[in-house]
Structure 1
């Protein structure tokens, strides 16, 4: 998958940017050129959606054959879109819990859970993500609300990367080469067991009472890359957002 968010839709951590990107000898590709490369490398099973001056979503269906633990799924409902990778071992139980169809897949569940929590439920997002049993990563884009929600499971079985392109766009993909082509040194692995919400930033859903810290990364040539983020085991969040009828996935991560 490849997702590009433009014009301030996402405000990434400042540590994700590396000054070394501007010093790279080779010119970086634009997000649009990287999108063309993605579609060209998957000519028979990919498509993209463009939201003018806001976002680009690109998806490539997996090759035909038996479903694996790293399946790729796409779903869109009422201007909410989700690209999901991996699988949930307790999907049937989750669909039943949320009153969804037994035949719904993981991407459909994530969208419906997001919409339910956004519109009606006071349950905090980190509590919901803790209930997901499996290997997963997903990116949700709520076009009407202008909201981005992304998460990566804690078992590190699924890869996910994010970075800042030369034009300031934020890119997310499971393909590190696509990220490097336009973000250069300004990228990092998305931290496992964490979620990012465009209004609340980066939070660990496994350890929501702990702060996140940025750790310096360097490549094989010693150039500083975008920081890697991890839970600060010795820190503590002073207070969590209060959970009530006005606090949900739409207002915090």
Structure 2
């Protein structure tokens, strides 16, 4: 799934397997077709360091940022902590197109969602679902929410984000449009790693993106400390 990325290179299956082995530490054997993937924690730590460095630069320069997730049930707390830290450092955490409808094609057909923000983090909800800051939303890989948000920011005359933080289509969609984008990705989201290899995505942290939300707290503290955003 390309999730908003339009690769410049020709990627064969063996190329993708080699890339994912290099970036995540999964098996490089094409015959390894069953069992669980295992992500090398050393690679996750290296990715977190690079991720935190970009966050720190954004904070130091007080850059406008846009943060969005397709995994709100799991990762919202992680991103919200970043939004809080960046805001406290003087960055503008953008919320363009709040409430705007986004039509996304899913395996169940065309679905209409609303773009919402919780604690500075963008997510989508099914149309008609109550908002009021509820920390739930729809799981999506689509780049359409970030395209909608960026278009709305441009139509309003800015500011535009100088850093986009997130996962799935938020990262690939923004990176494809030329915005600096960093994010998190699991082993079943190779598009982000392809984007990083080609240079359209700045940093990708390999990790399991579907564990309990409280499991990300140590990672949150680590990134905030490395970026000098601890409060």
Alignment TM-score, normalising by the size of structure 1? 0.32
Q: Which of the pair has the greater relative contact order for Cα pairs under 8 Å at 6+ separation?
A: 2
Instruction: Name the structure where strand makes up a greater proportion of residues.
Output: 1
Instruction: Name the structure where helix makes up a greater proportion of residues.
Output: 2
Alignment TM-score, normalising by the size of structure 2? 0.34
Structure showing greater Rg:
1
